[in-house]
Amino acid sequence: MALFDTIRAGSSGATDFEIQRSLRFNDDDNTYLSRTPSSNGNRKTWTISIWFKTEGGGSLQGQRFWSVSSSLTDGAYASLAYENDGFIAELRSHLDLRTTGVFRDPTAWYHVVLALDTTQSTASNRAKLYVNGTQITAFNTESYPSQNHEGGWNSTSEHNIGRELYLTRRYFGGYMAEFTNIDGQQLTPSSFAETDSETGQWVPKDTSSLTFGTNGFRLQFADNSNTTATTLGKDTSGNGNNWTPNNFSVSAGAGNDSLEDTPTNNFSTLNPLAGYETHFEESTNGNLDFSLSHGEFGFSTFEIPTSGKWYAEVVFTTFASGRCGITNLVQKNDSKWNGIDNLGGEIRVDDSVVQSGISNTIGNNKIVGIKVDRDAGTIDWTVDGSATGTAVNISSMSDPNNLVFAVGRNSSSGSAPTGSINFGQRPFSHLPANYKALNSQNLPEPTVPKSTEYFETLLYTGQNTSSLYNVTGLDFQPDWVWLKTRNTNIEHILFDAVRGEDKQIPTSGTNSEVARSSAAYRFLSNGFAVSTVGNGNNPNTYAAWCWDAGGTTVTNTDGTISSQVRANTSAGISIATWTSDGSGSPTSFGHGLGVRPDFLMILNRSSSGNKQCWFSTFSNATNNFVSINLAERVQTAGAAMWGTIDSSVVSFRHSANSSNGNNMVGYFFSNVEGFSKAGKYTGNGNSDGTFVFTGFRPAFLVIKTGEQDGDWIMIDNKRDVDNPTQHRLDADLIDSESSSDVYHDFLANGFKLRTASASRNPSGQDMYYFAFAENPFKYARAR
């Protein structure tokens, strides 16, 4: 049995329930469950709840979660399916719901509920589809059954889980857990799950107290003593409506389909979304099996934490030119061989041999243990439990950051390396003492467990009144609000508590601060207030991005120039104002974060001019800069633009955008694990684009081209509630919102480019970004 999962412990009432096991479905093995009810249940009213984790990648087309009937007969055939990466709910010739959004994130768990009641008088109430507790209302196809229609589910026809019974095809690939059918009631997701008030995560509930009805059942897949209907397929509702498993295995080893990867303890798998350039390994068998073509690598969906001891096991059924170890995922597109690998007879660092002539080498069907000790700063390997080679210092890598477990292929010739990897979702064969599996339970507790207490996006419609209009819905009082009209061309508006209410400054254009003569902006305990005086309450639609920067302004004397600073060190956010000295060389002022910023922007309040930004990932930290009001690429100044940028001060050449005596404002961000990240990625110029690990499910993302001109693209999770993201605003433009292109998928652990556009995903070029979380990966659901 899995250990109790402390990450779900919260005040929501979910503390005493965990899901013990999931059942893995491998479409190559034709795995499914079957049951033929002996009598009809309620064919008009029912609810199905499923927790699942998909294999993702390119494998989703046509897969069935469940289906009824071996023919397409009206009134008999029914199914819930994946198609074009979205859901299709179908009762033949009656119900047909096809989602606009896609649900292809393989890094975490989804919860889907389909609730039917054809007795309802309103057509759209007769079938409701929910994902992660939210009702889906956007469909490409949307038709509902006639009133009192009787469909195939709960009939005496054969029912299948994991395949389409019609033509016995379209097998599901991935994991399922807690598959529940309620016969005779149309329920909401709150009967099966709830929101944890401490983390904001959608978590499972114990459903044993529900009334299941005649053909109702609850499949927990917890008894893996055998693969019979009374063990693996056992109905635990008390009804005895057991299901017969087909082609599953519970034998020890890589073929074991009873795993501890569950919605209450998410395990790493291989990541089919991450690759080298345009080479993506389509792993199988729950993303734990691999077959590596030339240029392909398999990477873990989790980054390896920066402290602790971490372990994984690999078995090559065909070793050929295989290799396994760790790599820097960010650098992988720049350097194919970045990392530390064991190739059997030798160990390489960044593809340079550091150990050779190794005995006890890797071979076919041997169990290779990969031991990563972040506290000691080493990696070493075992083969069948015995050491092979000696430990290697991780610091010997050219860039020992952003580490993931990796398997790879060393040669374009010969056979493809094939095998499987185990991150602990089944028992390890040779787990060393004090080493941990890579799963959500073992991830460190995030500094910010509930992101919405420090950052949130609000959408609203202006009321066109000169009096203040309250915009609410936050869990905090904001200190900084950045807002933009969505449906008309008006410049961006930034207002903050350090400069004071009624003072606005734009990112777009070169304009300086405007101080309004009457009430324009006010900060509220759960939002803000706006009026038409400041263009924040015109008859337009708005997006507002809001931050908690600490609540108290203090005088900071860390630099040569005194500053007024409001800082939230837990969330890595600060605001500072100071007076420019107009110096032609960098002079310093304090920022209050206590750690070095990873992204900052500086604006002149008194005079017009460009608005310089700095990323910690610039190749030239002293001379590189980029202006948030311009589309131009990263620039290199002839004279130093920046001096010391550390945990206390920022040194800036003020003559670049100001004169002596000008009032200045700066916004500063340091990366906080699981909450915020500023960084860069390398584009691959393909619609199957670069994957970027952030360590959280993004709520807000801004990206900027580094090596060619391109606008500052702004995406958030409120204007795009499903994938892919399409609604774009640009920080450097006054333009209204555009939704004509596809940009990204937001994922539980980062984002994936879904465009070949040179302005978002240029081949081989650096792109810069900063992002804030909806949920840390530890607490995130798949999106």
Q: Is the separation of the CB atoms in 769 and 702 below 8 Å?
A: yes
Give me the mean pLDDT over the 19-45 stretch. 97
For the chain, the first-to-last Cα distance in angstroms comes to: 28
Does residue 305 have a cis peptide bond before it, meaning omega lies within 30 degrees of 0? no
pLDDT digits (tens, 9 = 90+) for 314-331: 999 999 999 999 999 998
pLDDT digits (tens, 9 = 90+) for 90-111: 998 899 999 999 999 999 999 9
pLDDT digits (tens, 9 = 90+) for 610-635: 999 999 999 999 999 999 999 999 99
CA pair distance 533, 716, nearest whole angstrom: 27
Task: Determine the 3-state secondary structure of 190 from DSSP.
Answer: helix
Q: Is the separation of the CB atoms in 272 and 282 below 8 Å?
A: yes
Q: Which residues lie closer than 8 Å to 314 by C-beta, 6 or more apart?
A: 324, 367, 368, 370, 407, 419, 420, 421, 422
The encoded tokens of residue 253 equal 């080893």
Confidence check: pLDDT of 2 > 70: no
Structure-derived torsion over alpha carbons of residues 197, 198, 200, 205, reported in degrees to the nearest 10 = -60
Task: Look at the block and give the residue holding tokens 């030239």.
Answer: 620
Task: Determine the 3-state secondary structure of 452 from DSSP.
Answer: helix
CA pair distance 589, 583, nearest whole angstrom: 13
Mean model confidence pLDDT for the chain = 94
Give me the mean pLDDT over the 395-421 stretch. 95
pLDDT at 446: 96
Ramachandran sector of residue 763 (left: φ over 0; alpha: ψ -120 to 50; beta: rest): beta
* Band (44; pLDDT cuts 50, 70, 90): very high
CA proximity to 147, closest of 126, 128, 163: 126
Percent of the chain with pLDDT over 90: 90
pLDDT at 10: 31
The encoded tokens of residue 510 equal 């070169």
CA proximity to 745, closest of 6, 101, 99, 181: 101
CA distance to 171, 239, 496, per residue, from 101 (Å): 22, 36, 35
Q: Which residues pair with 723 in a beta bridge?
A: 102
Give me the mean pLDDT over the 47-63 stretch. 84
Task: Look at the block and give the residue holding tokens 């439990």.
Answer: 385
Give me the mean pLDDT over the 193-198 stretch. 95
pLDDT at 7: 33
pLDDT at 3: 31
* Band (56; pLDDT cuts 50, 70, 90): confident
The encoded tokens of residue 704 equal 């900027």
* Band (74; pLDDT cuts 50, 70, 90): confident
Give me the mean pLDDT over the 505-515 stretch. 95
Give me the mean pLDDT over the 371-381 stretch. 98
Task: Look at the block and give the residue holding tokens 């309450």.
Answer: 537
Give me the mean pLDDT over the 576-602 stretch. 97
pLDDT digits (tens, 9 = 90+) for 148-167: 999 999 999 999 999 999 98
CA pair distance 68, 34, nearest whole angstrom: 10
Nearest-5° Cα angle at 716, 491 to 516: 30
477 burial level (CB within 10 Å; 0-12, 13-18, 19+): middle
pLDDT at 57: 62
Confidence check: pLDDT of 344 > 50: yes
Q: How many CA atoms lie within 13 A of 455 on its CB side?
A: 29
Confidence check: pLDDT of 59 > 60: no
Where is pLDDT greater, at 743 or 350?
A: 350
pLDDT at 335: 67
pLDDT digits (tens, 9 = 90+) for 427-470: 999 999 999 999 999 999 999 999 999 999 999 999 999 899 99
Count of residues for the chain?
783
CA pair distance 472, 492, nearest whole angstrom: 20
Q: How many helices (H) and strands (E) does the chain have?
A: 0, 58
Confidence check: pLDDT of 546 > 70: yes
pLDDT at 58: 56
Q: What is the DSSP letter of 618?
A: -
CA proximity to 663, closest of 617, 713, 616, 602: 602
Q: Which amino acid is at 56?
A: G
Strands (E), 630-717: 635-636, 642-645, 649-652, 663-669, 676-682, 691-693, 696-705, 713-716
Give me the mean pLDDT over the 590-608 stretch. 98
pLDDT digits (tens, 9 = 90+) for 212-221: 999 999 999 9
pLDDT digits (tens, 9 = 90+) for 667-694: 999 999 999 999 999 999 999 999 999 9
pLDDT at 75: 81
Confidence check: pLDDT of 698 > 50: yes
Q: What is the DSSP letter of 18?
A: -
CA pair distance 9, 199, nearest whole angstrom: 9
Confidence check: pLDDT of 1 > 70: no
pLDDT at 295: 86
The encoded tokens of residue 727 equal 């609604």
pLDDT at 9: 32
DSSP labels, 706-762? SSS----EEEETTT-SSBSP--BEETT--PPPB-SS--EEEETTEEEE----TTTS-
CA pair distance 454, 13, nearest whole angstrom: 24
Task: Look at the block and give the residue holding tokens 């606005």.
Answer: 504
